């Protein structure tokens, strides 16, 4: 009996070991998206080598496709410059962990820090601390509350995403001659300001045409939550004309729910511009007809801006001698017509 249980234990151990080995073999290596990296370009005076600089980077270690692309892009863009040394600190699971990681980074005195905070509000103090230590901070995507906390802010336009999605829905409804459409919305994590901004933009754009959202469910940016909320939304609206889903990653689950419910009477608009979504739009064989961009390429741009700031250069296309303070990306609408142009930018 004793022997048998020991043998079982050994066998179990061996199985776990084999499992770990298998994990190493089956893991999907992340390849950086080269289209989101700007290589050295002879015609661009900003690309010419300058003073060697060290750029620190910190972003939340999220298990989400978009956030993964942010980190990969930043790393790849830094690698494209011969004069940039890239130091990255893992931000950990929450604001407190990121604050601690940033303290370590600040103590290393890099020439600039690119920071995507867990929450801009919670990490404003860290931004101020770095700036006071003489390190310019490039605030990426989630805005700090005080201008003192950053040298440059580059972010996506969450409100604009909602507006673009709303405008597309309005245009499509007008083209189809639907006068009082039933519109659904699957939002992301409701407690995040970015989700509220997206919803507000959508609401405002629809209101301009006299339309309203009939039912709005908040999911959690995951595929299974997207599937769950979409299933319930489809039950609540037995007939629907348009649906906006804030995030293409959770959109995989939303599309699965639509397919399982055998529904195709409406058009769906996505959000962020994932590769899978752009391919689905191009194939035009599902309800997904468009997506509005929120591109992780902004991380590459942030690294370029950090380099220019650290080297004391400006943006060559602008008359200004220095890099501007705020840059907000535009949210573009990807449809079947222009999907081919955007496919290379999908993450």
Choice between 124 and 245, CB closer to other proteins? 245
Smallest distance, other proteins to C-beta of residue 91, A: 14
Choice between 64 and 121, CB closer to other proteins? 64
Cα distances from 23 to residues 9, 15, 20, 32, 210, in angstroms, run: 21, 12, 5, 21, 53
Classify residue 214 by burial, with Cβ atoms within 10 Å: 0-12, 13-18, 19+.
middle
CB contact set of 277 (below 8 Å; sequence gap of 6+): 248, 251, 270, 288, 291, 334, 346
269: helix, coil or strand? strand
Among 143, 182, 252, 269, binds other proteins (CB under 8 A): 252
CA atoms within 13 A on the CB side of 90: 5
Contact call for residue 315 and other proteins (CB under 8 A) = no
User: Interface mask (CB under 8 A) for other proteins, residues 149-188, using x and -?
Assistant: ----------------------------------------
Tell me how far apart the alpha carbons of residues 99 and 1 are, in angstroms, rounded to a whole number.
53
Tell me how far apart the alpha carbons of residues 55 and 311 are, in angstroms, rounded to a whole number.
11
Among 29, 107, 210, 317, binds other proteins (CB under 8 A): 29
Contact call for residue 282 and other proteins (CB under 8 A) = no
Tell me how far apart the alpha carbons of residues 172 and 246 are, in angstroms, rounded to a whole number.
18
Q: Which residues pair with 185 in a beta bridge?
A: 216, 244
Smallest distance, other proteins to C-beta of residue 228, A: 6
Smallest distance, other proteins to C-beta of residue 262, A: 8
Give residues 44-73 in contact with other proteins (rule: CB under 8 A). Answer: 61-65, 67-68
Binding site for other proteins (CB under 8 A): 1, 5, 9, 12, 15-16, 19, 23, 25-30, 61-65, 67-68, 190, 214-218, 220-229, 231-233, 235-236, 238, 249, 252-253, 255-257, 259-260, 274, 276
């Amino acid at each position: 009996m004793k022997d048998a249980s020991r043998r079982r234990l050994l066998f179990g151990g061996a199985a776990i070991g084999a499992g770990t080995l298998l994990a190493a073999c089956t893991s999907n290596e992340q390849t950086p998206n080269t289209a989101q990296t700007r290589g050295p370009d002879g015609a661009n005076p900003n690309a010419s080598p300058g003073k060697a600089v060290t750029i620190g980077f910190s972003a939340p270690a999220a298990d989400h496709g978009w956030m993964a692309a942010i980190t990969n892009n930043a790393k790849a863009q830094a690698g494209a410059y011969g004069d940039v040394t890239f130091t990255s600190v893992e931000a950990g699971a929450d604001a407190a962990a990121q604050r601690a990681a940033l303290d370590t980074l600040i103590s290393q005195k890099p020439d600039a820090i690119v920071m995507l905070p867990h929450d801009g509000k919670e990490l404003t103090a860290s931004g101020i601390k770095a700036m006071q230590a003489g390190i310019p901070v490039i605030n990426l995507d989630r805005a700090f509350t005080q201008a003192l906390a950053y040298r440059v802010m580059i972010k996506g336009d969450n409100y604009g995403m909602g507006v673009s999605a709303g405008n597309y829905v309005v245009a499509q409804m007008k083209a189809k001659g639907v006068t009082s459409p039933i519109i659904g919305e699957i939002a992301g994590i409701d407690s995040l300001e970015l989700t509220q901004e997206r919803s507000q933009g959508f609401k405002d754009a629809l209101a301009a045409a006299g339309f309203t959202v009939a039912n709005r469910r908040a999911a959690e940016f995951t595929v299974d939550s997207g599937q769950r909320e979409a299933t319930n939304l489809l039950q609540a609206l037995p007939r629907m004309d348009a649906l906006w889903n804030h995030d293409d990653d959770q959109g995989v689950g939303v599309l699965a729910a639509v397919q399982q419910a055998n529904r195709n009477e409406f058009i769906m608009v996505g959000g962020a511009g994932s590769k899978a979504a752009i391919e689905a739009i191009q194939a035009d064989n599902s309800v997904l007809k468009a997506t509005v961009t929120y591109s992780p390429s902004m991380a590459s741009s942030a690294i370029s801006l950090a380099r220019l700031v650290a080297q004391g250069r400006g943006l060559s296309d602008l008359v200004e001698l220095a890099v501007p303070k705020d840059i907000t990306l535009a949210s573009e609408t990807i449809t079947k017509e222009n999907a081919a142009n955007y496919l290379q930018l999908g993450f």
